């Protein structure tokens, strides 16, 4: 009982996620700024933003549905926090694991997008409703390639449990190279899930003010920003576990350090991609995802199926 | 026009896409724009009327501050009109100095526009890079004129500051740096995929529509209307300088980007020519306080297009009438046409592509009674009487104060 509470609240639960989430946001913003020839925020900036927002007055719009409006940020925070419990961080086994937990993690990481939609829709402001619809439309574009790439990796490992997948790859280190296409596609889809440029269409500041989050303020906005950070950590952790299975035969502390390096590497790539591109239009994004990403993901699945047959022999 | 079934989304007067207040009402069906309409007037400050109550030199301070980025354009245009009425011949050195500041202002404005366009399509990196380069030209203008915006270099009869040898060298060095950076941006505009995707085919204004709707400046030149006041009706020292009028046939936002980048390169060459050819001599001739009766129209190629000033003098120290027609007023009518059948995501970049400067634009008053939904034009005297009555209702009476003031003057 105490152990479960420790896992949920401290490591790898809320406290660890909060600290690592702030650190990840700092790394992202600092790298983005340095790429643009700016100085960027100091290390405590995300924490300062969080504290400032918590201290502000919470205003719920009169026409908005108050219950849904207030519930959605907490739901987003919870869902992404639970996802991390199934991802191996300390050692090659996650805190909880069972056959099929890859699907559960993917499902939990999709819930925040739905909460952004519902929160925006029930805010009843024109900008929020347009942003909400956009975030759902974007979901249809990037979810399928992402799921397929993770599925391809799981296929080769012949298991639906994330911990067993990681163990399999750590024993057969050469096989991670087979998933390289999947890694590329999954990185781009992660950009879509985290709503970062070039896929930050639901939150296009110059078009619809702040999309779903236009009416959010105070504590609720702090939780939404926190949920974005935790989703970034959880998504990067998932990608690191599936596609970068290195150093897993070492003692748990070393595995944890490797994990930190891998997650920060993925976040650095995200920051780099953020600097390079302009924001795409929604129709262009859907075109791109279905014309290029989905076929590549299918190709990866096919490749892994063939490899599995070859290897079994 | 606006149908009742569509979602109506207000862009403005306050909106992150707009740098200045203006009201666009856009009807949406899903992500597609079905209709759009513009309402001007949020930045009206009564400058034309204020000029009538001030001397010409005092009016010059006001006209300069119509806008921050085209301040020298308005100031030069106004001064040229007055000089034409009074028959003042400005010395050659002054004309060259006016041209130098004009071209530096054009460089500054186009770099700013590049950054703003980048920001509107979510390309913040371009914003940061171009605005960093803009600092070079702003520092140059600060050493030459004493201020980064609102240069205050013009006066009736010439300019107020001269240029030294060291400043000439600094300008040339700065232009070299900027030319290299602009070449990088031209490469970027030709090759960067996401940029091309967002800019090409967006905000199309065909050649015929551009003629019908009177598009001026880079907006018109991107649709094949190769008109430039510097070539058609040369002012300052442009008649003695050699440059090309940049015009393309793309008719979309990408065309406008190419035109502005091309104009940047031409401006660099013009600045170098000015520094090389500037004649010696005085920078100022003494101008009379009372301008003789007459009227003049003066045109100027501002970074946004053709700027037009009309001045009517009546022999006293104060003008009879000053009228300013900024280029954005001519271009804003084409925005509705450009937004037809486009997506909501294109709206910020289409509006930004005409390089709107609403501070320059707002010149007219048309009072709309939203309850009765009718419009009428209100005369200055009516507003004044309404103001006096409003204060009288609240127990404040200005008549005694007015008597004292008239006695003073």
B184: contact with A, CB 8 A cutoff: no
CA–CA gap between residue B67 and residue B72 (Å, rounded): 9
pLDDT of residue A168: 87
* Interval A130-147: pLDDT, tens: 899 999 999 989 999 999
CATH 1.10.645.10 residue ranges for chain B = 47-330
What letter does residue A90 receive in the DSSP assignment? S
The Cβ of residue B139 has, within 10 Å, a number of other Cβ atoms equal to 13
- How close A181 comes to chain B (CA, Å)? 22
Query: B47-330: CATH homologous superfamily?
Result: Cytochrome-c3 Hydrogenase, chain B (1.10.645.10)
Q: What is the ipTM of this complex?
A: 0.89
Whether the CA torsion A18, A24, A29, A34 is positive or negative: it is positive
CB contact under 8 A, A127 and B123: no
pTM of the model: 0.89
pLDDT of residue B310: 93
* Interval A267-304: pLDDT, tens: 999 999 999 998 888 889 999 999 999 999 999 999 99
The number of folded domains in chain A is 1
Residue of A nearest to B132 (CA): A37
Nearest to B91 by CA among B239, B285, B237: B285
CB contact under 8 A, B125 and A275: yes
CA–CA gap between residue B104 and residue A15 (Å, rounded): 55
CA–CA gap between residue B280 and residue B225 (Å, rounded): 37
pLDDT of residue B1: 65
Among the partner-chain residues A126, A201, A206, the one whose CB lies closest to the CB of B16 is A206
| pLDDT tens-digit profile, chain B (409 residues) | 677 778 888 887 888 888 888 888 888 888 888 888 888 878 888 888 889 889 999 999 999 999 888 899 999 999 999 999 999 999 999 999 999 999 999 999 999 999 999 999 889 999 999 999 999 999 999 999 999 988 889 999 999 999 999 999 999 999 999 999 999 999 999 998 889 989 998 989 999 999 999 899 999 999 999 999 999 989 989 999 999 999 999 999 999 999 999 999 999 999 999 999 999 999 999 999 899 999 999 999 999 999 999 999 999 999 999 999 889 888 888 888 898 888 888 888 998 998 888 888 776 655 666 666 666 666 777 877 888 888 888 888 878 887 888 887 6
pLDDT of residue B366: 59
Query: Is the distance from CB of B115 to CB of B130 less than 8 angstroms?
Result: yes
CA–CA gap between residue A182 and residue B49 (Å, rounded): 67
The Cβ of residue B275 has, within 10 Å, a number of other Cβ atoms equal to 17
What residues of A are in the B interface, CB distance below 8 Å?
35-38, 126-127, 129-130, 134, 197-198, 200-201, 204-209, 275-284
Q: Is B50 exposed, middle or buried (0-12, 13-18, 19+ CB in 10 A)?
A: middle
**Which residues of chain A are within 8 Å of residue B15 when distances are taken between CB atoms?**
209
Nearest to B328 by CA among B113, B99, B9, B90: B113
CA–CA gap between residue B199 and residue B253 (Å, rounded): 5
What is the widest separation between alpha-carbon atoms in chain B?
70
Task: Classify B193 as helix, strand or coil.
Answer: helix
CA–CA gap between residue B151 and residue B67 (Å, rounded): 11
Task: Please provide residue B242's backbone torsions phi and psi, each rounded to the nearest 5 degrees.
Answer: -115, 115
What letter does residue B44 receive in the DSSP assignment? -
Query: Is the distance from CB of B151 to CB of B109 less than 8 angstroms?
Result: no
Low-confidence residues in chain A, pLDDT < 70: 313
B28: contact with A, CB 8 A cutoff: yes
Print the domain residue range for A103. Answer: 2-312
**Which residues of chain A are within 8 Å of residue B192 when distances are taken between CB atoms?**
278
- How close A29 comes to chain B (CA, Å)? 13
Residue of B nearest to A197 (CA): B122
């Amino acid at each position: 009982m105490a152990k479960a509470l420790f896992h949920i609240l401290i490591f790898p639960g809320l406290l660890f996620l909060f600290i690592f989430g702030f650190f990840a946001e700092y790394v992202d913003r600092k790298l983005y700024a340095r790429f643009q020839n700016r100085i960027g925020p100091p290390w405590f900036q995300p924490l300062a933003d969080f504290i400032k927002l918590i201290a502000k007055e919470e205003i719920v719009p009169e026409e908005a549905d108050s219950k849904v409006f207030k519930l959605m940020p907490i739901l987003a925070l919870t869902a992404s926090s639970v996802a991390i419990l199934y991802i191996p961080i300390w050692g090659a086994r996650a805190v909880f694991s069972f056959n099929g937990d890859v699907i559960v993690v993917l499902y939990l990481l999709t819930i925040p997008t739905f909460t952004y939609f519902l929160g925006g829709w029930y805010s009843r402001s024109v900008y929020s409703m347009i942003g909400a619809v956009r975030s759902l439309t974007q979901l249809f574009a990037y979810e399928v390639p992402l799921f397929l790439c993770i599925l391809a990796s799981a296929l080769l490992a012949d298991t639906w449990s994330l911990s067993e997948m990681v163990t399999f790859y750590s024993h057969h280190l050469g096989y991670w190279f087979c998933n390289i296409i999947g890694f590329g596609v999954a990185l781009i889809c992660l950009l879509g899930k985290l709503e970062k440029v070039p896929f930050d269409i639901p939150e296009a500041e110059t078009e619809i003010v702040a999309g779903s989050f236009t009416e959010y303020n105070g504590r609720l906005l702090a939780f939404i920003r926190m949920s974005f950070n935790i989703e970034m950590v959880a998504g990067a952790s998932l990608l690191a576990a599936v596609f970068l299975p290195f150093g897993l035969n070492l003692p748990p502390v070393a595995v944890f350090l490797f994990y930190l390096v891998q997650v920060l590497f993925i976040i650095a790539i995200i920051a780099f991609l953020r600097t390079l591109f302009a924001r795409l239009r929604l129709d262009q994004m859907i075109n791109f995802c279905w014309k290029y990403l989905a076929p590549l993901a299918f190709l990866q699945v096919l490749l892994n199926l063939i490899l599995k047959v070859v290897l079994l022999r | 026009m606006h149908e009742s079934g569509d979602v109506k989304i207000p862009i403005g007067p306050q909106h992150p896409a707009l740098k200045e207040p203006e009201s666009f009402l856009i009807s949406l069906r899903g992500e597609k724009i079905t209709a759009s309409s513009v309402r001007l007037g949020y930045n009206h400050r009564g400058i034309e009327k204020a000029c009538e109550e001030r001397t010409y030199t005092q009016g010059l301070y006001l006209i300069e501050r119509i806008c921050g980025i085209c301040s020298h354009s308005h100031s030069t245009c106004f001064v040229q009109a007055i000089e034409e009425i009074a028959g003042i011949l400005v010395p050659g050195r002054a004309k060259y100095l006016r041209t130098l500041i004009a071209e530096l202002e054009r460089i500054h404005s186009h770099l700013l526009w590049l950054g703003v366009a980048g920001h509107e399509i979510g390309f913040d990196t371009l914003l940061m890079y171009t605005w960093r380069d803009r600092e070079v030209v702003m520092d140059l203008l600060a050493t030459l004129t004493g201020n980064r915006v609102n240069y205050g270099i013009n006066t009736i009869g010439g300019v107020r500051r001269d240029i030294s040898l060291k400043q000439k060298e600094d300008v040339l060095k700065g232009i070299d740096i900027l030319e290299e950076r602009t070449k990088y941006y031209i490469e970027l505009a030709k090759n960067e995929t996401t940029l091309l995707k967002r800019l090409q085919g967006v905000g199309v204004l065909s050649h015929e529509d551009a003629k019908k709707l009177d598009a001026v400046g880079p907006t018109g030149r991107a649709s094949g209307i190769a008109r430039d006041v510097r070539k058609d009706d040369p002012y300052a020292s442009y008649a003695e300088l050699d440059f090309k009028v940049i015009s393309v046939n793309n008719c979309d936002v990408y065309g406008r980007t190419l035109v502005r980048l091309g104009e940047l390169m031409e401006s660099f060459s013009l600045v170098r020519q000015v520094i090389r050819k500037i004649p010696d001599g005085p920078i100022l001739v003494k101008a009379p306080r009372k301008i003789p009766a007459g009227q003049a129209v003066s045109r100027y190629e501002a970074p946004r297009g053709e700027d037009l000033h009309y001045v009517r003098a009546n022999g006293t120290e104060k003008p009879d009438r000053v009228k300013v027609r900024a280029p954005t007023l001519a271009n804003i009518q084409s925005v509705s046409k450009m937004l037809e059948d486009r997506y909501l995501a294109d709206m910020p970049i289409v509006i930004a592509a005409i390089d709107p400067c609403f501070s320059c634009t707002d010149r007219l008053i048309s009072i709309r009674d939203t309850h009765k939904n009718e419009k009428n034009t209100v005369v200055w005297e009516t507003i004044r009487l309404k103001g006096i009555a409003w204060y009288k209702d609240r127990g404040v009476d200005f008549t005694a104060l007015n008597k004292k003031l008239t006695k003073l003057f």
